[in-house]
Amino acid sequence: MARGDVKTAGLKVRRGRAGNVAMGEERRLRSILDAALSAFARQGFTRTPVAEVAAAAGVASGTVIYHFQTKENLLAVLAWECLHLLWRECSGAASAAAPGPGRLTAYVEAFFDFLRREPDRILLLFKTEPMELSLGQVAPGLDIRTLWQATRMLLVNIFREIGEMDGQELPDPERLATALLAHVSGAAWLHLFFNESLDALRGSALDLAGRLARGSVRP
């Protein structure tokens, strides 16, 4: 994936032939996506008119539809992008770490870093509209639940790896992963909606991760 960091491939976005005009198509698409992200995350999908996104992006509202066909599709692309970025960060960090419990720490750190750096992207995922829409439309097998599962599978695999490493018979990796994911998701929720301190939450998540890895907390 040399050019165009953001993988939107497979999603229904209308694009012209490579290398083009004025504002630059790539840049135009980006500014629409960014405008939409910020508006959807803040006010919610249904409360944001296409015209508002268009205005914020500096294009005509026809242009938004021209590229994304549908307002819902715009949300789908956006949600997919958010989850993909999140997955990339976490998976990248985890696999860069040394095998073992360090991966868990790296995963959790990456999650909180992402949350701090791009709160809107997580906020968007907590909004329930993405869930309510059948994202199956966007790209088969890429609906939002599937992607969440992918994020979760990262954890499952890490726990499995840890279990296999020190043979200490960790309880069901599935349940361990779920427990940690619950903690981390809830932390993000409290942070985003109730302004709970990110650092405190990160601390408690890391602590839990450590103990889960050591088997000292039975999920």
Rounded CA separation 20/65 (Å): 19
Q: Would you say 8 or 180 has its CB closer to its own copies?
A: 180
Distant-in-sequence, close-in-space partners of 53: CB < 8 Å, separation ≥ 6: 32, 35, 36, 39, 61, 64, 74
Q: What is the DSSP letter of 18?
A: S
Choose, by CB under 8 A, the member of 99, 165, 182, 214 that binds its own copies.
Answer: 182
Residue from the set 25, 148, 157, 160 that interacts with its own copies by CB under 8 A = 148
Residues 188-207 that bind its own copies (CB under 8 A): 189-190, 193-194, 196, 200-201, 203-205, 207
Query: SS3 breakdown of the chain: % helix, strand, coil, rounded to 5?
Result: 70, 0, 30
Q: Which stretch binds DNA (CB under 7 A): 60-68, 110-118, 123-131, 199-207?
A: 60-68
Task: Tell me the C-alpha distance between 215 and 206, whole Å.
Answer: 14
The reply on whether position 149 binds DNA by CB under 7 A is no
Kindly state whether residue 47 participates in binding DNA, applying the rule CB under 7 A: yes
Q: Is 4 left (phi over 0), alpha (psi -120 to 50) or beta?
A: left
Is 116 an interacting residue with respect to its own copies (CB under 8 A)? Answer: no
Indicate which of its own copies, DNA, none lies near residue 128 (CB less than 5 to 8 Å, by partner kind): its own copies
165 or 200, CB closer to its own copies? 200
Find the binding residues for its own copies in span 17-56 (CB under 8 A): 43-44, 46-47
List the helix and strand counts (H, then E) for the chain.
10, 0
Residue closer to DNA (CB basis): 60 or 182: 60
Which residue from 69, 128, 149, 197 is in contact with DNA, where contact means CB under 7 A?
69
Q: How many CA atoms lie within 13 A of 75 on its CB side?
A: 29
Q: Distance (Å, rounded) from C-alpha 209 to C-alpha 184?
A: 10
**Judged by CB under 8 A, which of 102, 129, 157, 160 binds its own copies?**
129
Q: How far is the CB of 95 from DNA (least distance, A)?
A: 37
